[in-house]
Amino acid sequence: MAARLSVLDRYLPVWIAGAMVLGIGLGRVVPGLNRALNHVQVAGTSLPIAIGLLVMMYPVLAKVRYGEIDRVAADRRLLVPSLVLNWVVGPALMFALAWVFLPNLPAYRTGLILVGLARCIAMVLIWNDLACGDDTAAAVLVAVNSLFQIVAYAGLGYFYLKVLPGWLGLSTTTVHVSIWAIARSVLIFLGAPLLLGFLTRTLGERRRGRAWYEHQFLPRIGPLALYGLLFTIALLFAFQGDAITHRPLDVARIALPLLCYFAVMWTGAFALGRGLHLSYPRTATLAFTAAGNNFELAIAVAIGTFGVTSGQALAGVVGPLIEVPALVALVYVSLWARRRFYPSTETGL
């Protein structure tokens, strides 16, 4: 199986680790890099990172079979568990882990809770694709999560940072979140590549046919997703390279609850998919969309509310520091689970 993979795919963990190291190194040795990268922004995100995100997501969304979306959306066995995992279980679990691991570090705790409230819209499409999940189902779940973020993020932030701690006799935090800022982020980082992917497939199939589109065109643009991923990772780590290397113990304290979160969410969602008798592609999609987070949104909210040098912002940045290697590892766990639990039913419903 490994022999059939491209060099980029076969050594993906190596390239990701290299991108992380390169980013941290650049952040340390290049004076003023943060200011230069952040000079021009799109929806509160550095323009180079925004470009990386769009390049990363376009090939994955171009693979989606948009004619099958209605059928996927109508499958309540997938949609309802996903909503419960993302908007009930995920935020509650991160809230609990943040208080258990960081009871005396309110800034980091708040940052982690903001990460837990920001559900998947970006890199989860890459992890799902690498794990041979259902791309169409992933696009549907990501779109639904995006709509929920617009209407629910601010309210949930108020509940988990102000209301629930008050009920439990814990210290509270106030955070102000602009619903328009969330909507704008979703429209740019999901809406734009989604529209481009839809138009590419529609026009490509209309002019050259599905066989040409899926067997010739998609393999040509496929590597762009991983190039965009590596570029984005390098820039993200460049932004906080200095903070990460100067505060390793703080990073470790933040990393522990995040590791627990990713492991529990992915394992629980995969087990639930098995229990619901979903196919492997949809079980993998359920697991990765439950475990993934929209760290771009969490970082933007933390910086906008508490400042770029705040502990909340550092906790947000540590999110992808842990999420990237954790979910790459879970891609391999998922592929192992496919061989172990789905030996003859790797495709279909």
Indicate the angle between helix axes 90-101 and 248-275, nearest 10 degrees: 150
pLDDT (tens digit, 9 = 90+) per residue, 189-239?
A: 767 888 898 899 899 999 999 899 988 998 888 888 788 878 877 887 787
Displacement of CA 347 from its chain's centroid (Å): 24
SS3 134: coil
Delineate the domains of the chain, giving CATH numbers in brackets: 2-338 (1.20.1530.20)
Return the number of other C-beta atoms located less than 10 Å from residue 281's C-beta: 25
Positions of the chain with pLDDT under 70 = 1-10, 34, 38-45, 121-122, 175-179, 181-183, 185-186, 190, 240-243, 296, 300, 303-304, 307-309, 344-349
Note the pTM of the prediction, 2 decimals. Answer: 0.78
Residue 27 CA: distances (Å) to CA of 137, 237, 241, 323, 339: 37, 7, 5, 20, 41
